[in-house]
């Protein structure tokens, strides 16, 4: 279990990026952090990745405190960040130094097959399209068999069709080892497609505004009604988070329930 | 430029090292392409002028005493080659360049790596080195002669100084400009400092390092002439001075041609030798 308690991050210039974040993510749960720009989503992810230090509070993975990159935590960035001097296969194998040759090869081959790039192992990253490169980056994180996988808007630079196919590749890989996933996104559709729970964040300073369970059956049909209504609920919560004058989300929901009742 | 080269440069922010690599390893794609007849256009001007001048001298329109016709330069070059004199001079020059290049480039790489990878060391080293760089290197000649004598040591030292600065600047700059985002990938995979240097920094700086070495080598050829002007009894620079004192412009031009050929050959050798290191960067791109 991934546990964030009273997490805050204040930068040297006094900017408060995050304040008092409390969040628990169950094993194998997929959580989407969603919110407008400047709400600290990426900062939060970088703290969990151990790339930055929290100013206060703690991050624990199965009881172990994280303050530097942890072997069981993987991350996929917004850009593929492949190493241009390594072939596609060598990029995927980048973190597998500790394995012997055969096992390394087998794992890489399997991952490349899962992302549909089995034929591309010997090519250079620059020969791939943006979507293909991002798939390789996802494979590079998955072959490490992380307990926690962090995704920092990994699909935001891609067109809608490529994005949808990448969602499938991602879920295909996820099924195998079922890591805990924390996904940062500003795309509500994406959150509802992938996540078990949406965490709505609010900016200045970054904090959690509300969370919504997205208990839809998988595979999710984006044209189906429950999907539509889940998207609408997340959008409504986002609207509220952007409009601070409104009542608290809990009260809002009570009022909705009351309205239905009457 | 073909489509391949353009695919990822804007997306990955690698445009500068990519451009760098085009210089570091001129496109091997040229080999794959069909031979382009337009390349011959470049020969039109020099060959045309040479033929015109040859004809002018041949038909008595010009004397060709101060500007000898190509045939006479070729004859001089051939004579120098036949007596073995050319090889004596060329090998003396090449040896000096090699020694100076190895010392200068070695020091440049070492100091550049230190200055590029440590902020503190950069603050200590860089201002002094920049100040030294501002001194025209030829100004060191009298001092080097006093310190190291008039023979090989002072010449090699001058060449080494000339090679050092571009290599130092190139290496330090290349390290500083390594994409921070790729370094972060190394951190995510928990690489030790040594592994980070070997698996990320080194391959990332190689293309620019090759360019730094190439410009260092070019300066090596420049400074060997200055060094041999200082007083040498052999070397291509000696042939130049000798040709001037003896009034033999054909010998001067022969030595200049030898310089051009050797310089080009040395540069090609460097490019060829380092090509496997920067193969990943081969960018299909028009050669200049």
pLDDT per position as a tens digit, B163-179: 999 999 999 999 999 99
Q: Is the pLDDT of residue A159 over 60?
A: yes
Q: Which residues of B touch A (CB under 8 A)?
A: 4-5, 7-9, 11-14, 181-182, 184-185, 187-190, 199-200, 203-204, 206, 280-281
Interface ipTM: 0.85
Please report the pLDDT score of residue A252 as a whole number.
60
Whole-angstrom distance, CA of residue A73 vs CA of residue A93: 16
In a domain, B64, yes or no: no
CA distance B189 to chain A (A): 6
Full domain range(s) for residue B213: 3-33+85-281
Rounded mean pLDDT, A127-139:
92
Is residue B190 assigned to a domain? yes
| B269, containing H or E segment | helix B249-274
Place A193 in a pLDDT band, splitting at 50, 70 and 90. very high
User: Does residue B22 fall inside a structural domain?
Assistant: yes
> Considering CB atoms only, which of B4, B14, B188 is closest to A127?
B4
pLDDT above 70: percentage of residues in chain A: 93
- Angle B229-B231-B233 from CA coordinates, rounded to 5°: 110
Q: What is the mean pLDDT of residues A186-207?
A: 90
Q: Is residue B42 part of a domain?
A: no
Which residues lie across from B154 on neighbouring strands? Answer: none
Domain assignment of residue B70, yes or no: no
8 Å CB contact of B185 and A94: yes
What sign results for the dihedral spanned by CA atoms B275, B279, B281, B283? positive
- A67 in B contact zone (CB under 8 Å): no
B184·A51 Cβ contact <8 A: yes
Dihedral of CA atoms A89, A94, A99, A102 in degrees, nearest 10, equals 10
Higher pLDDT, B235 or A250: B235
Asked if A174 has any chain B CB less than 8 Å from its own CB, the reply is no
Report the half-sphere exposure of A44 (CA within 13 A, side-chain side). Answer: 37
Task: State what percent of residues in chain A have pLDDT above 90.
Answer: 52
Q: What total of structural domains would you count in chain B? A: 1
CB neighbour list of residue B279: distance below 8 Å, 6 or more residues apart: B25
User: What gap in Å lies between CA B216 and CA B222, rounded to an integer?
Assistant: 10
pLDDT reading at A145 higher than 70: yes
Predicted confidence at residue B200, as pLDDT, reads 93
Which residue(s) pair with A21 in the sheet? A7
Whether B7 and A129 lie within 8 Å, measured CB to CB: yes
pLDDT at position B102 is 97
The answer to whether position B17 is within a domain reads yes
Q: What mean pLDDT do residues A8-24 have?
A: 89
CB contact under 8 A, B188 and A130: no
pLDDT for the residue B24: 53
> Which positions in chain A touch B206 (Cβ < 8 Å)?
85
Contact (CB<8Å) A83/B184: no
Residue A229 has pLDDT above 80, yes or no: yes
DSSP state of A210: E
Instruction: Answer for the pair A151, A171: CB distance below 8 angstroms, yes or no.
Output: no
State which residue of chain B sits closest to A92, comparing Cα positions.
B189
Question: What is the domain-level CATH number for residue B171?
Answer: 1.10.3720.10
Spatial CB neighbours of B173, under 8 Å, sequence gap ≥ 6: B116, B208
Count of CB pairs separated by less than 8 Å, A with B: 62
Contacts of A82 in chain B (CB under 8 A): 12
Which residue ranges of chain B lie beneath pLDDT 70? Answer: 1-34, 282-288
Does the CB of A123 have a partner CB in chain B at under 8 Å?
no
The closest of B159, B160, B145 to B230, measured between CA atoms, is B145
Would strands A207-213 and A197-202 be described as parallel, antiparallel, or unpaired?
antiparallel
CA-CA distance, B185 to A91, in Å (whole number)? 11
The nearest alpha carbon in chain B to A150 belongs to B188
Q: Which residues of A touch B203 (CB under 8 A)?
A: 83, 85
Torsions phi, psi of A243, nearest 5?
A: -120, 85
Domains of chain A: 2-261 (3.40.50.300)
For tokens 């997306």, name the residue: B11
Chain A environment of B187 (Cβ under 8 Å): 51, 69
pLDDT at B184: 93
User: Does any domain span residue B209?
Assistant: yes
pLDDT digits (tens, 9 = 90+) for A106-131: 999 999 998 889 899 999 998 899 88
């Amino acid at each position: 279990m991934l546990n964030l308690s009273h997490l805050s991050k204040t930068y040297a210039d006094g900017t408060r990026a995050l304040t008092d974040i409390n969040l628990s993510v169950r094993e194998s749960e997929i959580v989407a952090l969603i919110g407008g720009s400047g709400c600290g989503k990426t900062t939060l992810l970088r703290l969990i990745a151990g790339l930055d230090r929290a100013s206060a509070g703690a991050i624990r993975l199965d009881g172990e405190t994280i303050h530097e990159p942890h072997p069981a935590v993987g991350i996929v960035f917004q850009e593929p960040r492949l190493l241009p001097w390594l072939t596609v296969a060598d990029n995927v194998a980048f973190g597998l130094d500790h394995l012997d040759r055969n096992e390394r090869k087998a794992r890489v081959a399997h991952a490349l097959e899962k992302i549909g790039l089995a034929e591309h192992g010997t090519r250079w990253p620059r020969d791939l399209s943006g979507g293909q490169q991002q798939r390789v980056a996802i494979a590079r994180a998955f072959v490490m068999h992380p307990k926690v996988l962090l995704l920092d808007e990994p699909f935001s630079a891609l067109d809608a069709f490529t994005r949808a196919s990448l969602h499938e590749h991602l879920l295909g890989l996820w099924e195998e080892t079922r890591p805990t996933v924390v996904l940062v996104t500003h795309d509500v559709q994406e959150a509802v497609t992938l996540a078990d729970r949406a965490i709505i964040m609010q900016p200045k300073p970054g904090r959690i505004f509300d969370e919504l369970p997205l208990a839809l059956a998988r595979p999710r049909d984006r044209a189906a009604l429950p999907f539509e209504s889940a998207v609408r609920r997340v959008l409504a919560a986002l609207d509220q988070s952007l409009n601070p004058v409104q009542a608290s989300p809990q009260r809002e929901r009570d009022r909705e329930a009351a309205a239905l009742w009457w | 430029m073909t489509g391949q080269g353009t695919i990822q440069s804007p997306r990955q922010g690698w445009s500068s090292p990519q451009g760098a690599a085009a210089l570091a390893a001129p496109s091997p794609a040229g080999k794959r392409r069909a031979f382009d007849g337009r390349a011959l256009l470049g020969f039109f001007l020099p060959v045309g002028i040479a033929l015109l001048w040859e004809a002018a001298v041949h038909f008595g329109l010009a004397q060709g005493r101060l500007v000898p016709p190509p045939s006479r330069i070729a004859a001089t070059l051939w004579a120098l080659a036949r007596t073995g004199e050319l090889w004596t001079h060329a090998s003396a020059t090449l040896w000096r360049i090699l020694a100076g290049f190895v010392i200068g480039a070695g020091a440049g790489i070492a100091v550049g790596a230190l200055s590029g990878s440590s902020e503190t060391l950069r603050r200590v080293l860089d201002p002094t080195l920049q100040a030294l760089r501002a001194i025209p290197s030829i100004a060191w000649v009298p001092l080097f002669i006093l310190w190291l004598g008039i023979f090989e040591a002072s010449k090699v030292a001058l060449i080494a100084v000339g090679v050092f600065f571009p290599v130092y600047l190139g290496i330090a700059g290349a390290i500083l400009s390594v994409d921070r985002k790729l370094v972060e990938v190394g951190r995510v995979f928990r690489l030790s400092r040594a592994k980070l240097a070997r698996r990320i920094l080194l391959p990332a700086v190689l293309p620019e390092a090759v360019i730094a070495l190439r410009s260092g080598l070019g300066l090596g050829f420049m400074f060997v002439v200055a060094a041999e002007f200082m007083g040498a009894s052999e070397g291509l620079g000696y042939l130049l001075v000798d040709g001037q004192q003896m009034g033999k412009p054909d010998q001067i031009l022969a030595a200049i041609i030898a310089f051009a050929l050797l310089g080009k050959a040395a540069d090609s050798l460097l490019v060829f030798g380092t090509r496997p290191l920067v193969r990943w960067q081969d960018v299909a791109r028009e050669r200049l």
